[in-house]
């Protein structure tokens, strides 16, 4: 394992251990609901489901259809806020 | 342990930035995955499409915006002049007055014991009209019990019911007796004021 990926694992471990990952997730979810991201994606899901048929749709279908769109639709302001929180965490814990 | 610390502190900014971006995209992916699970479950349980309806039924429940009608398209105040029949004394009472009437008529609420006492007395002696007190006097001029006052007046005489709370007519007497005395009190007050003014000197 390279030094870089080792460091990544350590940081992720720390994020989970400190509970920061859970907090960030909750924050992101709240922001995404607030800005209508969830409704947009739900509408997209509806199209996908109608296309595939109600009985035949699988979680995998939904994930492959929805994830790229979901990533693109996250507003910049939300991204910025999350990044700021993550950077603050890294600054605190990467130098320890 | 020592190795890790060194590697972490030797990070440059671009690497940190990349790491932050990765964490963010991880989080976003998590959120997407969560949504997918949620939607999938809703579809399989059959409640995902519950909130879509066809145009026609949407039109049925559209909000009405016309003068004189409420949002449901019903006539505003259509219940205002409705009358209810009291189950106890079988008079018809304006709906807005029905609750206070029923309270007195059935002898519940805070005046109940007093009214019940009075009912016993008046039951024994129907001519005894002297006892009534201020609180019950809103029943005295009872044109406001119902909207068709004249029409009801005839009916009222015909079905005189001893259970009805409406009874005595003594309130008007009382107030006319009180009138002159109050005026006397008022005349006295200027004199009092003059006395007070003179006092300090």
How confident is the model over A52-93, as pLDDT tens digits? 888 889 999 899 999 999 999 999 999 999 999 999 998 888
Closest CA to A55 of B10, B40, B178, B85: B40
Q: What is the ipTM of this complex?
A: 0.91
Closest CA to A57 of B45, B25, B50: B45
- At B94, the pLDDT band (50, 70, 90 cuts) reads confident
How many beta-carbon contacts under 8 Å exist across A and B? Answer: 96
- Asked if A15 lies within 8 A of B23 by C-beta distance, the reply is yes
**Sequence ranges of the domains in chain B:** 14-78, 80-120
The distance of Cα B128 from the centroid of its chain, to the nearest Å, equals 37
Rounded to 5 degrees, φ, ψ at A21 are: -65, -40
pLDDT of residue B125: 61
Strands (E), chain B: 83-85, 92-94
Distances in Å between the Cα of B131 and the Cα atoms of A41, B171, B178 are 75, 10, 17
pLDDT of residue B181: 47
Higher pLDDT, residue A21 or B115:
A21
DSSP assignment string, B130-170: ----GGGGGGTSGGGG-SSHHHHHHHHHHT--TT-S----H
Whether residue B74 lies within 8 A of chain A, CB to CB, comes out as no
User: Stretch B162-176: mean pLDDT, rounded?
Assistant: 49
Enclosing H/E stretch for A90: helix A76-93
Which runs of consecutive H residues, i.e. helices, occur in A35-58? 37-52
Which residues in chain A touch residue B30, judged by CB atoms under 8 angstroms apart?
A: 25
The owner of tokens 């019940």 is B116
Enclosing H/E stretch for B42: helix B13-45
- Quote the pTM value: 0.51
pLDDT of residue B33: 94
Which residues in chain A touch residue B33, judged by CB atoms under 8 angstroms apart?
A: 63, 67
Give the range with max mean pLDDT: A23-32, B103-112, B190-199: A23-32
Q: Quick one: what percent of chain B has pLDDT higher than 90?
A: 11
The string of pLDDT tens digits covering residues B6-47 is 444 555 778 888 889 999 999 999 999 999 999 999 999 988
User: Stretch B138-145: mean pLDDT, rounded?
Assistant: 52
Cα distance between residue B142 and residue B136, in whole Å = 11
Higher pLDDT, residue A77 or B147:
A77
Distances in Å between the Cα of A86 and the Cα atoms of A96, B19, B24, B99 are 16, 9, 8, 63
Q: Please, which residues have CB within 8 angstroms of residue A4's CB and are 6 or more apart in sequence? A: B15
Residue B197 has pLDDT above 50, yes or no: no
- Asked if A67 lies within 8 A of B32 by C-beta distance, the reply is yes
**Sequence ranges of the domains in chain A:** 3-93
- At B182, the pLDDT band (50, 70, 90 cuts) reads very low
**Token representation of residue B128:** 């005894």
pLDDT of residue B146: 56
pLDDT of residue A70: 93
Query: Distance, in angstroms, between A75 CA and closest chain B CA?
Result: 11
Mean pLDDT value across chain B: 67
Cα distance between residue B59 and residue B67, in whole Å = 19
**Token representation of residue B23:** 């964490």
CATH number of A3-93: 1.10.246.140
**Chain A residue closest in CA terms to B48:** A46
- At A21, the pLDDT band (50, 70, 90 cuts) reads very high
Give the SS3 label for residue B118: helix
Helix axes B13-45 and A59-73, enclosed angle (nearest 10): 130
Which residues in chain B touch residue A8, judged by CB atoms under 8 angstroms apart?
A: 19, 22
Higher pLDDT, residue B177 or A53:
A53
Whether residue B8 lies within 8 A of chain A, CB to CB, comes out as yes
pLDDT of residue B19: 87
pLDDT of residue A19: 93
- At B124, the pLDDT band (50, 70, 90 cuts) reads low
Cα distance between residue B139 and residue B146, in whole Å = 11
- Asked if B27 lies within 8 A of A11 by C-beta distance, the reply is no
């Amino acid at each position: 394992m390279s030094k870089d990926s080792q460091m990544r694992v350590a940081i992720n471990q720390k994020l989970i251990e400190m509970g920061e990952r859970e907090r960030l997730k909750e924050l992101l979810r709240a922001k995404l609901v607030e800005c209508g991201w969830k409704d947009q994606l739900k509408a997209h899901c509806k199209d996908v489901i109608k296309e595939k048929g109600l009985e035949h749709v699988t979680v995998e279908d939904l994930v492959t259809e929805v994830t790229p769109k979901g990533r693109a639709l996250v507003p910049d302001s939300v991204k910025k806020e999350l990044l700021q929180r993550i950077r603050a965490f890294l600054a605190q814990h990467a130098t320890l | 342990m020592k190795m890790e610390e060194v590697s972490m502190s030797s990070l440059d900014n671009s690497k940190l930035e990349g790491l932050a971006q990765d964490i963010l995209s991880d989080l976003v992916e998590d959120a997407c995955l969560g949504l997918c699970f949620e939607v999938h479950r809703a579809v399989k349980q059959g409640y995902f499409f519950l909130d879509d309806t066809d145009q026609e039924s949407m039109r049925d429940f559209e909000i009405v915006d016309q003068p004189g009608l409420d949002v449901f398209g019903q006539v505003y105040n259509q219940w205002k002049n409705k009358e209810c029949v009291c189950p106890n004394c079988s008079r018809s009472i304006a709906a807005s007055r029905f609750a206070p009437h029923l309270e007195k008529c059935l002898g519940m609420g805070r005046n109940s014991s007093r009214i019940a006492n009075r009912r016993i007395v008046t039951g024994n002696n129907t001519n005894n009209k002297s006892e009534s007190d201020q609180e019950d006097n809103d029943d005295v001029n009872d044109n406001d019990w119902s909207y068709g006052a004249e029409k009801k007046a005839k009916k009222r005489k015909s079905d005189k019911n001893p259970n009805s709370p409406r009874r005595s007519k003594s309130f008007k007497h009382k107030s006319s007796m009180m009138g002159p005395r109050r005026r006397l009190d008022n005349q006295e007050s200027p004199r009092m004021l003059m006395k007070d003014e003179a006092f300090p000197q």
